[in-house]
Structure formats: C-alpha cells, structure tokens
Amino acid sequence: MKNVKTLNKSTYAKKSLGAGCGECQASCQSACKTSCTVANQKCEKPNKK
C-alpha cells in the first residue's frame, strides 16, 4: 500500500481462536509488582495459533 504500512503480521483477534489455555505467566509477577500491563507478556503457544 502506498499510504499505509501495517506493522503486524497477524492480529490478536485472529490468533485467539482456540486460545485461552491459561498456561501463560501472571502479568504482575514478571517485573511490575505494583502495576499492571498484559501486552508485553509472552504466549506459551505462539506457534499453535
């Protein structure tokens, strides 16, 4: 496209079909014990989506 460059190769709506396995880390355990954010967390099954 001439006017738009899309940065994702996929989107989380598409990736979430069949997901929700619950195996991923609790977000507050990783490096923020006083705030919350989820978008930086890793999926345990990135190749299965």
Partner 1 sequence: MVHTFTQGGHRIALDSASGAVHVLSELSYKILQYLKPPLSPRCPTSLRYNLAMYSADDINEAYGELYELYTEGMLFSEDVKIPNTTPDAKYIPIKSMCLHIAHDCNMICKYCFADTGDFKRKRSLMSLETAKKAIDFLLEKSAGIKNLELDFFGGEPLLNFDVVRETVKYGREREKEFGKNIRFTMTTNGTLLDDEKIDFINEHMSNVVLSIDGRKEVNDRIRTYMDGSGTYDDILPKYKKLVEKRTSGTYYVRGTYTRENLDFAKDVISLADAGFDQISVEPVVLPYSDPLSIRPEDLPRIFEEYDLLTEEMIKRYREGNAFNFFHFMVDLDAGPCVYKRMKGCGSGSEYVAVTPEGDVYPCHQFVEHTDYKLGSIFGGELDDARRSEFAGCNICTNPECEKCWAKYFCGGGCAANNYNFAKDIKVPYDIACQLERKRVECALTIKAAIAEMEE
Could you list the residues that contact partner 1 (CB under 8 A)? Answer: 1-16, 19-20, 22-44, 46, 49
What is the CB neighbour count within 10 angstroms for residue 39?
A: 6
Nearest distance from residue 47's CB to partner 1, in Å? 9
Taking the complex as a whole, the smallest distance from the CB of residue 43 to partner 1 amounts, in Å, to: 5
- The CB-of-7 to partner 1 minimum distance in angstroms stands at 4
Instruction: Tell me how far apart the alpha carbons of residues 29 and 11 are, in angstroms, rounded to a whole number.
Output: 25
Whole-angstrom Cα Rg for the chain: 14
